[in-house]
Amino acid sequence: MATSKKSARKWSKPGMEPTLNGTGFMFSVLDEFATDFIKFAGEGPDEVLDLGCAFGIASLGALEAGGRVTACDLDQGHLDILTGKTPEAQRARLHTVQGKLPYVDLPEASYGAILCSRVLHFLDGSAIDASVRKMFSWLKPGGRLYLVADTPYGIWRKMIPIFETKKASGERWPGLMIGLENYLPYAPTDRSIDGPPFMNLLDPDLLSRTCTEAGFTIERAAFIDRSDFTGLGRLDGRENVGVLAFKPQ
C-alpha cells in the first residue's frame, strides 16, 4: 500500500514528533493507557498488537519489557525506523505489518492486548466502528483493548461549542471536522504538518459506545490529562480520551 513519505520539517513543539506522511505526530511521552499496555506485554505470554504505531515508542517499550509485538502502521517508513531502533537481541520478537484501518487484515484471536493510540480520530464514523469490530475479532477471549484519541478539549479547542451542541442534539459523530484550516491550532509559519483532510474528535462516551456495540466490556473510560504538552496555551486536563476494554471470555 503506497503512502506519502515526507521528511519531517522543522518543528517547535517538544515531545511531538511529526510523522513521515505529514498529517500528524507521535507523542514522545507515554500516557497511562500506553504504559499499562507495555506492562501487560512484558508480564504475559501472549503477543500484543500496536496499531498505528508510528515510530514505535510503545512497541519499543513493550519489547524492552520482554513482550512479543506486532507493530502495524500505514507508512512503511515508520516501520523501517522502528525496526532500525529495535536492539538486535529483541528483533526476533518484533513483527511488522503495513496496513491501514479499517482495511488491514490480521489473524483472528491472536493477541492478548491491542493498543490503538491516536489513530481513530483520523477515521470517519463507519470506519471507527468497523475498526473496533476488527480489533474484537483479533483479540483472544479475555484480551485487552487500549484506545486513545484526540478530544475537542486539547489542541482543537475552537471545536468545543460545536461538538457540545451536536452531541446534545444526539448526533452520532459530533466531533467530525471538515475544513481543518478553520480549526488548526498553529499559525502557518509554525506548522510542520499539513493536517489530515478531516478529524473526528471523540470523548469517553463516544469511544465507550463503539466498544460496547462491538461486544467489549468497558473497564475504564476517561479523559487523559496531557499537561506535558508545551507551547499550546491553556489546557484543562481533557486533551485526550482513553478506554480500556475487555473481550469477554
Split at pLDDT 50, 70, 90, the class of 237 is confident
Taken in order of first residue, the domains within the chain and their CATH numbers are 16-246 (3.40.50.150)
Q: What is the pLDDT of residues 184-232, one digit of tens each?
A: 655 444 455 566 788 999 999 999 999 999 999 999 999 999 877 665 5
Q: How far apart are CA 86 and CA 63, in angstroms?
A: 8
* Per-residue model confidence (pLDDT) at position 60: 98
* Per-residue model confidence (pLDDT) at position 36: 98
Mean pLDDT for the stretch of residues 234-247: 92
* Per-residue model confidence (pLDDT) at position 236: 87
* Per-residue model confidence (pLDDT) at position 167: 98
Mean pLDDT for the stretch of residues 56-75: 97
Mean pLDDT for the stretch of residues 48-56: 96
List the single range of 59-73, 96-110, 218-232 with lowest mean pLDDT.
Answer: 218-232
Residue with cell 498488537: 49
Whether the predicted model's global pTM rises above the 0.95 cut = no
The answer to whether residues 170 and 205 touch, using CB atoms and an 8 Å cutoff, is: no
* Per-residue model confidence (pLDDT) at position 5: 42
Q: What is the pLDDT of residues 154-195, one digit of tens each?
A: 888 889 999 999 999 999 999 999 876 666 655 444 455 566
Split at pLDDT 50, 70, 90, the class of 28 is confident
* Per-residue model confidence (pLDDT) at position 6: 42
Burial class for 18, CB neighbours closer than 10 Å (0-12, 13-18, 19+): buried
> Which ranges in 67-141 belong to alpha helices (H)?
76-85, 125-138
Residue spans of beta strands (DSSP E) within the chain? 16-18, 25-27, 48-51, 69-73, 94-98, 111-117, 139-150, 176-178, 198-200, 217-224, 240-246
Cell numbers linked to 39: 506492562
Average pLDDT of the chain to the nearest whole number: 88
The answer to whether residues 50 and 106 touch, using CB atoms and an 8 Å cutoff, is: no
Mean pLDDT for the stretch of residues 51-63: 96
SS3 237: coil
Q: How far apart are CA 19 and CA 56, in angstroms?
A: 11
Reported residue count of the chain is 249
* Per-residue model confidence (pLDDT) at position 26: 75
